[in-house]
Amino acid sequence: MIVNLYNKLLYFFKKGPIKKSMNVLFIRVIGVFLFFSLTLFITNFFDPKLVGSYDYSRSLLTILASISVLGMNQSILYYSGVLSSKEALHEIKDVYHKMMKITVVISISVTLLTLVFNFFLGAFFLEKELSTILFKSVIILLFYSLLIVNIDTLRALKKVYLSEFFRNILRYTPLFLVAIILYLTNNQKWLLEGFLLSLSLLGIGSTIYILNYFKKYKSIVVKNNFSYKSIIKRSSPMAISAVAFMLMQSVDIILLGKFTDLAVVAYYASSVKITMVVGLVLTSVNAIYAPIISELFSLNSFNELKVKLQDATRLISILTLPVIVFIAFSSKLILSVFGDNYEKAQSALLILLVGQTVNMFCGSVGIYMNMTGKQKVLQSILIISFLLNLLFNWILIPIYGMNGAAISTALSMAFWNITGAIYLLKKDKIKTFLN
């Protein structure tokens, strides 16, 4: 029996997409190691308020960039799948150039609108310290937005490992080096500026790389001409979904900054970062399966699609559940490594793990809906989830602080995953959840 189970597992892990998912996961594990090394360094050697400023800026940029990219980081994977099914992947060059122009226009517009808001209304809605962080962060929004689109463009070009290198290695290494230099020179106060500078350089560097890569397609003949209007029409529902999703991930930190202080933000953010390890497997698997889902759906290969989805969900569960159990039983010890007082976030961490457990069992709900033309349905589900999250955070944070933020996030995460999984079961007879 044990030998039979071993052989089944061996066969399972040798499947092409699963093997690629494991390789992506390995790169992401290295990225997580770098990210946590950076986090532990700054939480132990930098003032909690400086760490809170950094985390607050990350949350702001996450929200604003999700608006600026208009869902194109997801839709370019859809176009990759469609073009691959027609053996015309090289035509993605035309799609990328149009997406880049759209991103530049929207990013600059969002930047200007945010600066106007901050100038006239920032003092009313935000503390002076938070207003300053907002001003500094929005200045580099264009570069960060381009970075997000570029990372997924590399995935669309089948350069998955290079995409993950940008996402997980280069994203943290420059800031880590900057943080070390700031500490050694006693200039810790420039942590936020170092973070923003490193993102800007990555955005510029990744854009130069992709534009140079596309030069080999100088005489490209575009047969599948996607207009600006069609790209926006395809991407915008994904954008609304992405904004709602990012808001759900960030609004707790934003409101903690409003109702408490930046030190509490730093403590809570440490628990959020730990749960990133749990979500690591899901995002790694989705990185491989997103274009596969799009391609199989375009070819009407539904039986194969069901098999691939079940493989993905089983892989997610096999790799994620032990991590959740380990973190839950070691939560206090793990948080203590971040520095003094970070154990205060233990209850919040345990609550967030419950939400991640539901996320794990439901599988690749969001990716499947985005890749199969159901982005508007996903958009509606995520908007409702965000509104519930916002309401719960507004009510619970003043009463329960960090725990209130964690409860709100866990409930909204469970709601949208379960609702989406039930919808797909009824609509497509597809089981994304573990069964």
Encode pLDDT of 274-309 as tens digits: 887 777 777 777 767 777 777 777 777 778 878 877
d(CA 222, CA 91): 6
The pTM of this model reads 0.68
Q: Kindly state the DSSP code that residue 373 receives in the 8-state scheme.
A: T
397 in a structural domain: yes
Residue 54, pLDDT > 80, answer yes
Alpha helices (H) in 299-429, listed in sequence order = 302-329, 331-336, 346-362, 365-371, 375-400, 402-428
Q: Which of 175-179, 259-263, 285-289 has the lowest mean pLDDT?
A: 285-289
Q: Which band of pLDDT confidence, cut at 50, 70 and 90, is reported for residue 198?
A: very high
Which sign does the torsion angle of CA 176, 178, 181, 183 carry?
negative
- Looking at residue 92, its amino acid is I
Helix (H) or strand (E) holding 140: none
Alpha helices (H) in 121-190, listed in sequence order = 122-125, 128-139, 141-156, 160-164, 173-184
Q: Kindly state the DSSP code that residue 166 receives in the 8-state scheme.
A: I
222 in a structural domain: yes
User: Radius of gyration over alpha carbons of the chain, in Å?
Assistant: 21
d(CA 316, CA 364): 9
Q: Count CB atoms within 10 A of the CB of residue 57.
A: 23
434 in a structural domain: no
**Average pLDDT for 19-42:** 79
Q: Quick one: which of 253, 279, 58 has its CA closest to 175?
A: 58
Q: Are 201 and 174 in contact (CB under 8 A)?
A: yes
d(CA 293, CA 312): 11
Structural domains of the chain, count: 1
DSSP 51-83: HHHHHHHHHHHHHHHHHHTTTHHHHHHHHHHHH
Instruction: Please give the residue range of the domain that contains residue 35.
Output: 2-428
326 in a structural domain: yes
Q: Are 267 and 345 in contact (CB under 8 A)?
A: yes
- Looking at residue 259, its amino acid is F
pLDDT at 5: 45
Q: Kindly report the backbone phi and psi dihedral angles of residue 220, in degrees, each rounded to the nearest multiple of 5, phi listed first.
A: -65, 135
Whose tokens are 């996320």? That residue is 359
DSSP 220-268: ---SS---HHHHHHHHHHHHHHHHHHHHHHHHHHHHHHHHS-HHHHHHH
| Length of the chain (residues) | 435
Helix (H/G/I), strand (E/B), else coil: 429 = coil
Residue 119, pLDDT > 80, answer no
Residue 16, pLDDT > 70, answer no
Q: Kindly state the DSSP code that residue 168 receives in the 8-state scheme.
A: I
Q: Are 122 and 138 in contact (CB under 8 A)?
A: no
433 in a structural domain: no
Cα angle 100-103-108, degrees, rounded to a multiple of 5:
130
Q: Kindly report the backbone phi and psi dihedral angles of residue 433, in degrees, each rounded to the nearest multiple of 5, phi listed first.
A: -80, 160
Q: Quick one: which of 173, 166, 193, 171 has its CA closest to 182?
A: 193
Q: Which band of pLDDT confidence, cut at 50, 70 and 90, is reported for residue 12?
A: very low
Q: What is the mean pLDDT of the chain?
A: 83
Percent of the chain residues topping a pLDDT of 90: 24
d(CA 288, CA 290): 6
**Average pLDDT for 321-330:** 89
374 in a structural domain: yes
Q: Are 31 and 167 in contact (CB under 8 A)?
A: yes
